Amino acid sequence: MRNRFVLLPLLFLVSSLSGCGQKNSPVPPASNQPLIKGADISWISEMEAAGKKFYNANGAEQDPVLLMKELGMNAIRLRVWVNPADGWNGLQDVINKAMRVRQAGMKLLIDFHYSDNWADPGKQNPPATWSGRGVAEMCDSVRAHTTRVLSALVLRGVTPEWVQIGNETNDGMLWPLGKASQQMGNYASFFKAGYEAVKQVDPAIKVMVHISNGYDAGLFRWNLDGLKQNGAVWDLIGLSLYPTHSNWPELVSQCKANMVELVNRYNTPVMVCEVGMPWDQADASYLFLKELQTQLRSIPNQKGLGVFYWEPQCYGNWKGYTLGAFDNAGRPTRAMTAFQ
């Protein structure tokens, strides 16, 4: 997620597990499945608590999860924070939303930030309770937190299809220890700790590296080569892409070229797990989303898995975020018809 508005806080406790070692396992091929069309709607519980309502194109009030499904989406992404001050995006909040996703029969992507609030290219702050920990202890904390959250979900019958180890980790995670430009090895150790924890909960869950600026091939090569050289493996690569109404054709073209290179270089499927465009540019957004899906389908061997819109249900300048795809009356704009 990009840093453009006010923050909230979040979640949990940690119990220590062990070290940072990891067995490298082969990366599975992309599965033969329809294109994933999803949305990160992590804000829905807070929006509902604030009295926000959501409506379909005909003006009928609807549950936002079911509305996403009606609009053609088959997956939902939820972010996870560690110890949020107000509980939003914390463990219980994530469980509550994940249960709704399961009941809707949709796939789930869990996005670990490893922070008490937003982690993004501009900041990757460790949770307050992890402050002062060394590399080995930080690895244990990553393991414990990852295990706790996923185990709580699985216990309730909700097994994510995909899990991100970090959010937009362009320059690593858990700074300063895991700042990739200074300590690439530490960043890889933290990623490996999260990867191993996911696989211990359920080996079938696919683990993602998530980097923003999906058009920047050099950034992806630098980051992923660094991880690989330090023994990290992953199952898929996630990208963010936030074009404007005027530059989207160029950015989609660059993103497609980058995705093809990533598939060839790392033999790994790719997924665009964040997109957005100003809500009042719905026609341009529609064209952008349709073209992006076309380009994802054209990636060889079905390794372009899909796309997630970031908080499309936001409206009325919620938290200062204006890149949703609903109008000020709480109804989906034309942009959302791109998923049908």
pLDDT in the model for residue 32: 54
In angstroms, rounded to a whole number, what is the distance separating the alpha carbons of residues 286 and 30?
A: 27
pLDDT in the model for residue 33: 61
pLDDT in the model for residue 26: 39
Residue 246 lies in a domain: yes
Specify whether the CB–CB gap between 166 and 114 falls below 8 A: yes
- DSSP H or E run through 162: strand 162-165
Specify whether the CB–CB gap between 258 and 216 falls below 8 A: yes
The length of the chain, given as a count of residues: 340
Residue 28 lies in a domain: no
Q: Which range of residues forms the domain containing residue 271?
A: 37-339
Residue 82 lies in a domain: yes
pLDDT in the model for residue 21: 45
Residue 220 lies in a domain: yes
Specify whether the CB–CB gap between 170 and 213 falls below 8 A: yes
CATH number at residue 44: 3.20.20.80
In angstroms, rounded to a whole number, what is the distance separating the alpha carbons of residues 321 and 138?
A: 32
Number of domains, the chain:
1
Residue 306 lies in a domain: yes
pLDDT in the model for residue 117: 98
Residue 6 lies in a domain: no
Residue 93 lies in a domain: yes
Each residue's pLDDT expressed in tens, for the chain with a length of 340 residues: 545 443 333 333 333 333 454 444 434 344 456 999 999 999 999 999 999 999 999 999 999 999 999 999 999 999 999 999 999 999 999 999 999 999 999 999 999 999 999 999 999 999 999 999 999 999 999 999 999 999 999 999 999 999 999 999 999 999 999 999 999 999 999 999 999 999 999 999 999 999 999 999 999 999 999 999 999 999 999 999 999 999 999 999 999 999 999 999 999 999 999 999 999 999 999 999 999 999 999 999 999 999 999 999 999 999 999 999 999 999 999 999 999 9
Terminal CA-CA length for the chain: 24
pLDDT in the model for residue 24: 42
Q: Which amino acid is residue 44, in one-letter code?
A: I
Residue 2 lies in a domain: no
Helices (H) and strands (E) in the chain, counts: 8, 8
Phi-psi region of 183 (alpha: psi -120 to 50; beta: other; left: phi over 0): beta
